[in-house]
C-alpha cells in the first residue's frame, strides 16, 4: 500500500506568480502527510510547485501507488482533471483509487466525480483521509458509506454524499506539517533570490467567523479554532533551528481576531526568545493602538489590512462590516508604529460605479499603505457573490477546461473597462506616492501620471456606452 499525495500547481505555468514570486509549500497536504505518519501509514508527497507535469506523471508510473490523493482548488482544477484522465488511461495506474481534497469540491461534487475522481473529501481532511486509507487497505471491496465527509459513486453510478465530518476541535493535537517530505530549500531560495529574504508559511488557526460575500469557507467553515500560543512558538523554534528563515508568513484569515490569544502569543514568543519577523492579515475592526503595539513586540514587520474598496456603499454590499474611515485610520496608525501596512482592493463588484472607483483612489491616497494589491471581482461557487450573480451571469465556460475566474456577469461596465480601471488606480496612487516623497516632479512620476491619464481615457471609451 502506498499513499501518494500531490497537487497540480506548477509555478512555471503561472506568469503572474513568476513576476511576484511568493510561493508557499502546500501546507494542507503536509498536514495530511504528518497525520498519516503518526498513524503509521507510509506516504509520499510529490510537490509539483517547482516541478513539471512530465515529472509528476513519470513519478506516478514509477511509484504505482494504490491511493493517489490530489489537492485541488479553482485555479488548479484544469490540471487536476488532466491528471485524473492520465491516471485512468494508464494500465499501471488503473488500479489506483483517486481521492481529491480542497475547497473547490463542496460545490462541484458531480463534476469532479464525473471527470475521474473516485472519492471526494469534503471539509477538513486529516481524519477522513485516515479512515479512507484504512478502509481501502483492509477491505477487498470497500464500502465507504460509514465514512463522514466524503462523496463517491456507488456500484450503480449514484452519487452518495455522507454526513458532514465533525471539525477537529483541538487542533493542538495535530503535528507540525511534514515539511521534511518536500524540498523546502527551493522555496527558501526563491524568496531569497527574489526578495532578499527567505520566508516560511505557518498556520495558527482554522476557520473564519466573518461573512464576506466573495470569500469561500468551503473547507474549515465559519468556525474559529486556534492552536495554543505555546504550540505555535514550538513550531517557530523548530523552523528556526531547521531552516533559519528570515521571516514568517502567517496564513490565517484574521490574525488578530482574538486579542487575548495575541497577548499570550506575544508574551510566549518574547519569553522564549523566539521572535522571528512576520507578516499577517487582519481586519481594521480587530486593530487598535494596543493591538498594533503587541504585533510590533511579537515581530510583525508588515500587516495586511483588508478593505477591498474605498466606497462604504460597496463595502456594505460585500458584507465586510467595517467602516472605510476605520480602515484608513488603522493603516496610518500601523505605519506610525513602524510596521509596513498593506491592503487589498477589489474592482468590478456588482453595482460599483466610476464614483466608487474614484473613492477607492481617494481612500488609497489618504491612507497611503506601503503596499496594495488589486483584483477584479469574480464569483467563487458557493459564496454569496456567486448566488448574487447567477441570474445575471453572461459567460458559461466549459467546467473541465476553465476556472471560476472566467465566469462573468452583467457589471456596471464592459470587462475590458476594468483593465483600464486597474491601471488607473495603480498609476494614480503611485503617482501620488511619488509626489509625497519628492516635492519636485521627477520623470518617473510624470510617466505614472501619463499612464493614469491614458487609463482614464480608456475607462471613458469603454464606459461611455455601458
**In-domain check, residue 463:** no
Asked whether residue 177 falls in the same domain as residue 306, the answer is: yes
Using DSSP's 3-state secondary structure scheme, residue 226 falls into strand
In contact, 22 and 55? CB cutoff 8 Å: no
Burial class from Cβ neighbours inside 10 Å (0-12, 13-18, 19+) for residue 100 reads buried
Half-sphere exposure in the Cβ direction for 321 (13 Å, CA): 9
In contact, 98 and 119? CB cutoff 8 Å: yes
Q: 351's torsion region: left (phi>0), alpha (psi -120 to 50) or beta?
A: left
Of the pLDDT bands very low, low, confident and very high (cuts 50, 70, 90), residue 222 is confident
Stretch 334-339: mean pLDDT: 98
Q: Which run of H or E residues covers position 164?
A: none
Separation of alpha carbons 231 and 268, rounded Å: 10
Separation of alpha carbons 329 and 135, rounded Å: 55
Q: 149's torsion region: left (phi>0), alpha (psi -120 to 50) or beta?
A: left
Stretch 250-279: mean pLDDT: 97
**In-domain check, residue 425:** no
Cell of 375: 483584483
Asked whether residue 149 falls in the same domain as residue 176, the answer is: no
Indicate if the pLDDT at residue 118 is higher than 80.
yes
Asked whether residue 21 falls in the same domain as residue 96, the answer is: yes
Asked whether residue 52 falls in the same domain as residue 113, the answer is: yes
Stretch 338-347: mean pLDDT: 97
Question: Would you state the pLDDT for residue 440?
Answer: 65
Stretch 313-333: mean pLDDT: 96
Indicate if the pLDDT at residue 345 is higher than 90.
yes
Looking at residue 91, which CATH number applies to its domain? 3.40.50.280
Stretch 149-165: mean pLDDT: 95
Question: Would you state the pLDDT for residue 439?
Answer: 66
Burial class from Cβ neighbours inside 10 Å (0-12, 13-18, 19+) for residue 113 reads buried
Question: Would you state the pLDDT for residue 211?
Answer: 81
Question: Would you state the pLDDT for residue 232?
Answer: 98
Question: How many distinct structural domains can be found in the chain?
Answer: 2
Question: Would you state the pLDDT for residue 306?
Answer: 87
**In-domain check, residue 226:** yes
Separation of alpha carbons 80 and 400, rounded Å: 9
**Nearest-5° Cα angle at 102, 189 to 20:** 30
Stretch 231-248: mean pLDDT: 98
* Residues facing 68 on adjacent strands: 4, 98
In contact, 136 and 97? CB cutoff 8 Å: yes
Task: Characterize the bridge pairing of strands 247-250 and 150-153.
Answer: unpaired
Using DSSP's 3-state secondary structure scheme, residue 279 falls into strand
Asked whether residue 47 falls in the same domain as residue 148, the answer is: yes
* Residues facing 417 on adjacent strands: none
Asked whether residue 233 falls in the same domain as residue 316, the answer is: yes
Give the whole-number percent of the chain exceeding pLDDT 70: 99
Domain that holds residue 298: 167-377
Cell of 79: 490540471
In contact, 346 and 374? CB cutoff 8 Å: yes
Burial class from Cβ neighbours inside 10 Å (0-12, 13-18, 19+) for residue 222 reads exposed
Stretch 363-369: mean pLDDT: 97
Asked whether residue 269 falls in the same domain as residue 356, the answer is: yes
**In-domain check, residue 438:** no
Separation of alpha carbons 180 and 100, rounded Å: 22
Domain boundary among 377, 402, 426: 377
**In-domain check, residue 441:** no
**CB count, 10 Å around CB of 52?**
12
DSSP string, 36-76: HHHTT--EEEE--TTS-HHHHHHHHHHH--SEEEEE--TTT
Question: Per mean pLDDT, which range of 139-153, 311-325, 418-432 is the poorest?
Answer: 139-153
Radius of gyration of the chain from its Cα atoms, rounded to whole angstroms: 23
Neighbouring residues of 350: CB distance < 8 A, sequence distance ≥ 6? 317, 377, 385, 388, 389, 392, 409, 411
pLDDT top residue among 137 and 301: 301
Question: Would you state the pLDDT for residue 111?
Answer: 96
Indicate if the pLDDT at residue 141 is higher than 80.
no
- How does the average pLDDT of the chain come out, rounded? 94
Question: Would you state the pLDDT for residue 248?
Answer: 98
Cα-based distances in Å from 61 to 54, 58, 83, 202: 11, 5, 12, 33
Question: Would you state the pLDDT for residue 376?
Answer: 95
Asked whether residue 107 falls in the same domain as residue 180, the answer is: no
Neighbouring residues of 89: CB distance < 8 A, sequence distance ≥ 6? none
Domain boundary among 161, 183, 199: 161
Using DSSP's 3-state secondary structure scheme, residue 342 falls into strand
Domain boundary among 161, 181, 199: 161
Asked whether residue 31 falls in the same domain as residue 61, the answer is: yes
**In-domain check, residue 77:** yes
Each residue of 3-58: pLDDT tens digit? 999 999 999 999 988 989 999 999 999 999 999 999 999 999 999 999 999 999 99
Looking at residue 248, which CATH number applies to its domain? 3.20.20.70
Each residue of 290-302: pLDDT tens digit? 999 999 999 999 9
In contact, 303 and 280? CB cutoff 8 Å: yes
In contact, 111 and 399? CB cutoff 8 Å: yes
Give the whole-number percent of the chain exceeding pLDDT 90: 87
Asked whether residue 111 falls in the same domain as residue 171, the answer is: no
**CB count, 10 Å around CB of 105?**
24
Burial class from Cβ neighbours inside 10 Å (0-12, 13-18, 19+) for residue 440 reads exposed
Each residue of 171-221: pLDDT tens digit? 999 999 999 999 999 999 999 999 999 999 999 999 888 888 888 887 788
Q: 33's torsion region: left (phi>0), alpha (psi -120 to 50) or beta?
A: alpha
**In-domain check, residue 410:** no
415-437 and 354-367 helices, crossing angle to 10°: 30
Asked whether residue 204 falls in the same domain as residue 349, the answer is: yes
Asked whether residue 111 falls in the same domain as residue 247, the answer is: no
Task: Characterize the bridge pairing of strands 67-71 and 43-46.
Answer: unpaired
Sign of the torsion angle spanned by Cα atoms 258, 264, 266, 269: negative
Indicate the length of the chain as a whole number: 466
**In-domain check, residue 460:** no
Amino acid at each position: 500500500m502506498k499513499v501518494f499525495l500531490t497537487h497540480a500547481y506548477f509555478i512555471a505555468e503561472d506568469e503572474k506568480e513568476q513576476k511576484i514570486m511568493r510561493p508557499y509549500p502546500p501546507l494542507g497536504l503536509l498536514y495530511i502527510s504528518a497525520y498519516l505518519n503518526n498513524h503509521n501509514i507510509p506516504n509520499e508527497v510529490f510537490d509539483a510547485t517547482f516541478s513539471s507535469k512530465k515529472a509528476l506523471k513519470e513519478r506516478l508510473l514509477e511509484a504505482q501507488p494504490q491511493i493517489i490523493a490530489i489537492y485541488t482548488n479553482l485555479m488548479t482544477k484544469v490540471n487536476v482533471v488532466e491528471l485524473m484522465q492520465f491516471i485512468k488511461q494508464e494500465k499501471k495506474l488503473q488500479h489506483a483509487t483517486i481521492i481529491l481534497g480542497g475547497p473547490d469540491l463542496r460545490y462541484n461534487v458531480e463534476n469532479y466525480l464525473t471527470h475521474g475522481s473516485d472519492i471526494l473529501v469534503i471539509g477538513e481532511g486529516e481524519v477522513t483521509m485516515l479512515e479512507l486509507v484504512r478502509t481501502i487497505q483492509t477491505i477487498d471491496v470497500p464500502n465507504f458509506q460509514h465514512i463522514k465527509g466524503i462523496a463517491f459513486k456507488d456500484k450503480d453510478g449514484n452519487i452518495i454524499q455522507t454526513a458532514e465530518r465533525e471539525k477537529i476541535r483541538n487542533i493542538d493535537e495535530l503535528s507540525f506539517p511534514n515539511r521534511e517530505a518536500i524540498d523546502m530549500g527551493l522555496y527558501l531560495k526563491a524568496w531569497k533570490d527574489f526578495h532578499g529574504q527567505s520566508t516560511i508559511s505557518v498556520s495558527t488557526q482554522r476557520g473564519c467567523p466573518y461573512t464576506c460575500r466573495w470569500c469561500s469557507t468551503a473547507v474549515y467553515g465559519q468556525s474559529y479554532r486556534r492552536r495554543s500560543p505555546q504550540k505555535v512558538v514550538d513550531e517557530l523554534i523548530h523552523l528556526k533551528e531547521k531552516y533559519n528563515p528570515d521571516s514568517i508568513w502567517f496564513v490565517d484569515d484574521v490574525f488578530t481576531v482574538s486579542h487575548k490569544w495575541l497577548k499570550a502569543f506575544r508574551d510566549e514568543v518574547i519569553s522564549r526568545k523566539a521572535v522571528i519577523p512576520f507578516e499577517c492579515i487582519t481586519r481594521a475592526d480587530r486593530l487598535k493602538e494596543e493591538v498594533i503595539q503587541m504585533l510590533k513586540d511579537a515581530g510583525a514587520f508588515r500587516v495586511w489590512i483588508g478593505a477591498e474598496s474605498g466606497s462604504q456603499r460597496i463595502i456594505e454590499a460585500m458584507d465586510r462590516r467595517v467602516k472605510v474611515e476605520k480602515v484608513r485610520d488603522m493603516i496610518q496608525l500601523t505605519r506610525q508604529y513602524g510596521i509596513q501596512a498593506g491592503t487589498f482592493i477589489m474592482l468590478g463588484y456588482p453595482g460599483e460605479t466610476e464614483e466608487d472607483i474614484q473613492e477607492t483612489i481617494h481612500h488609497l491616497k489618504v491612507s497611503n499603505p506601503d503596499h496594495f494589491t488589486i483584483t477584479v471581482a469574480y464569483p467563487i461557487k458557493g459564496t454569496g457573490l456567486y448566488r448574487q450573480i447567477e441570474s445575471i451571469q453572461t459567460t458559461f465556460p466549459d467546467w473541465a477546461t476553465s476556472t471560476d475566474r472566467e465566469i462573468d456577469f452583467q457589471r456596471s461596465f464592459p470587462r475590458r473597462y476594468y483593465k483600464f480601471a486597474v491601471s488607473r488606480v495603480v498609476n494614480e496612487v503611485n503617482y501620488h506616492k511619488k509626489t509625497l516623497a519628492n516635492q519636485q516632479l521627477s520623470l518617473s512620476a510624470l510617466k505614472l501620471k501619463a499612464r493614469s491619464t491614458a487609463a482614464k481615457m480608456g475607462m471613458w471609451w469603454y464606459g461611455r456606452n455601458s
